[in-house]
Structure 1
Amino acid sequence: MALEKTSLLGKLLFQRSLRRWARIADGASKAPISVLRRQRGNARQLLVHLNRFVHVADNRLALPLIGSQAIQKSHDSDWAWRPEAWAGPLPVQGMASVPTKSMLGQELSLHHDCELSELSLRQVRNTREADLAPYGLRMDVFKFDGSFLSLVIDFPQTSVDGLRRKHLVRLEPIIEMEKPLEIFARLNIKHGPNTEQVVRELPLNDSVPMVEFDLAYTKLNEKRVDSMWLDLIFEGPQMNQITLRDLTLSRRPRAEF
């Protein structure tokens, strides 16, 4: 009963405040300057909290839900992962004129050899019904005077726990771009002093350009696996906007006959 009374009182106070600010807005054109200045200060203080609330509420209420780890994967996968840039809000959500080796979050970095960086990188909120990832990553490239451009994604330790040469590692990105370009994915696995590298070109004409890295063709020393990371390499990226709506990775053991 007390909760109902509190709720009713809250509604009455809200309606009263709403009517008050409606009257203030209606009278703003005729209010004395001294009164108008005070009312404007009050309104600005209120706006700070309202804007902050609306920003947080919009993010929480938009679909897909923040923190979602819903990943399409094969039934026999023994590891699946969506990097933080696609799973939740980053502390810093964007950068402009990005220097090489700049980090966005704890797992993703941008690498290039431009003399003058005309690159921007920012996290965007996914709101499409088809999206599983809460966030996407958008890269704008204007003039590009370098010879290479890549995004590097560091994998968690769980990605290499129990990793064997019998494993297939699957990459499934969802990519939008203003104009066609070539994108290559290079999987890197450090084992002892050596690093195995497997390169695949993304089939961008497919709706989901999935690729698999077959570790059977590597010289991986299973007893000394240390870490794993992915390079996404963009060929001819100038004057383009590239949006990675989602990016997931998983691994599964090769079927034994």
Structure 2
Amino acid sequence: MAKPPNGLIDRLLHRRVMRRWEKVADRAPSLSLPSLRRVRSRALQLRELLDRVLFEADARLTLPLVGSNAFQKPLHSDWGWRPQLWRGPIYPPGAAAAETKSRFGDEVTLFHDCRVSELTVRQIRNTREEDLAPFGLRMDVFRFDGSFLSLVIDLPQGAVQGLKRKHLVRLNAVVETEKPLEIFARFNVRHGPNTEQIVRELPLGEDEIMVEFDLAYSKLNEKRVDSAWVDLIFEGPEMNQVILRDVTFSRRPRAEL
């Protein structure tokens, strides 16, 4: 285990560094532009390290506990899952001017067709008393010149092992928006060369959102199920902030008649 940086020498070094940056901050308004560029470069390097420390500290010192997979599942569920992005810290935690196909963690990918991206995506730490997920995802959308914006969540193999047409797959989410917009969830299952798709609109305005995908009405070939993923599609996202506080999935067999 690494020795904690709290000895006398460490404290003295910390005070010295703080005094140095305090002087730099006081002199910044009067620095020449070349000097200011050099100072800015060093400050950005320092901020990157500080952000890493603060992100890890917030992740470990704040409730809900990091790694929590606790959430309510329907009775008789045979599978349940919270993606990594809402369960534990990812690095880097976000991106400004996020490009299409940017990945956040191992399972979430951003897609859009903007010519100029004015989209910021960042993982945030949930701290509200009612939050069950340790982390959330915040998207700030400014000018949007594209025709689509979506998050693709790759489901693990556990989601498709033993998947049958008798199954109901449930998506639960906690969503906050700055102003109203439409969000659709599209459940995709690949079986052999074909892909089944079921689309549901998320009923926004509720504390916790739930939609179910009923495979009974699909043409799923149960013997050839290969993989599954969910697209969250945001309609008209311009000049809006969307926070996904939690996203969870579960499945259960339909009751026999």
Question: Which segments of 5 or more consecutive residues in structure 2 lack a partner in the other structure?
Answer: 1-5, 21-45
* 2:16 equivalent in structure 1: 40
Q: Alpha carbons of 1:125 and 1:256: their partners in 2 closer, same or farther (altered >3 Å)?
A: same
* 2:32 equivalent in structure 1: none
* 1:176 equivalent in structure 2: 176
CA–CA distance in 1 between the matches of 2:136 and 2:65? 13
Q: Alpha carbons of 1:236 and 1:55: their partners in 2 closer, same or farther (altered >3 Å)?
A: closer
User: TM-score when scaled to structure 2?
Assistant: 0.81
Matches within 5 A, 1:128-207: 128-207=128-207
CA contact (8 A) 2:58 2:125 kept: no
* 1:75 maps to amino acid: L
* 1:254 maps to amino acid: R
Q: Alpha carbons of 1:221 and 1:138: their partners in 2 closer, same or farther (altered >3 Å)?
A: same
Name the SS of the counterpart of 1:210 in structure 2: strand
CA–CA distance in 1 between the matches of 2:235 and 2:17? 52
Q: Alpha carbons of 1:53 and 1:124: their partners in 2 closer, same or farther (altered >3 Å)?
A: closer
CA–CA distance in 2 between the matches of 1:153 and 1:55? 23
* 2:131 maps to amino acid: D
Alpha-carbon displacement from aligned partner over 1:59-104 (angstroms, at most 9, x marks no partner): 2121000000001111210000000000000021001111111111
Q: Alpha carbons of 1:132 and 1:197: their partners in 2 closer, same or farther (altered >3 Å)?
A: same
CA–CA distance in 1 between the matches of 2:187 and 2:95? 26
Q: Alpha carbons of 1:229 and 1:129: their partners in 2 closer, same or farther (altered >3 Å)?
A: same
CA–CA distance in 1 between the matches of 2:177 and 2:204? 10
User: TM-score when scaled to structure 1?
Assistant: 0.81
CA–CA distance in 1 between the matches of 2:50 and 2:144? 41
Alpha-carbon displacement from aligned partner over 1:161-187 (angstroms, at most 9, x marks no partner): 000000000000100010000000000
Q: Alpha carbons of 1:161 and 1:56: their partners in 2 closer, same or farther (altered >3 Å)?
A: same
Alpha-carbon displacement from aligned partner over 1:207-228 (angstroms, at most 9, x marks no partner): 2110000000000000000000
Name the SS of the counterpart of 1:59 in structure 2: helix
* 1:114 maps to amino acid: C
CA–CA distance in 2 between the matches of 1:194 and 1:54? 46
* 1:85 equivalent in structure 2: 85
* 2:230 equivalent in structure 1: 230
Q: Alpha carbons of 1:75 and 1:63: their partners in 2 closer, same or farther (altered >3 Å)?
A: same
CA contact (8 A) 2:121 2:139 kept: yes
Name the SS of the counterpart of 2:209 in structure 1: coil
Q: Alpha carbons of 1:61 and 1:142: their partners in 2 closer, same or farther (altered >3 Å)?
A: same
Larger radius of gyration: 1
* 1:214 equivalent in structure 2: 214
> Number of aligned pairs?
228
* 1:176 maps to amino acid: E
Question: Which segments of 5 or more consecutive residues in structure 1 lack a partner in the other structure?
Answer: 1-13, 25-36
* 1:97 equivalent in structure 2: 97
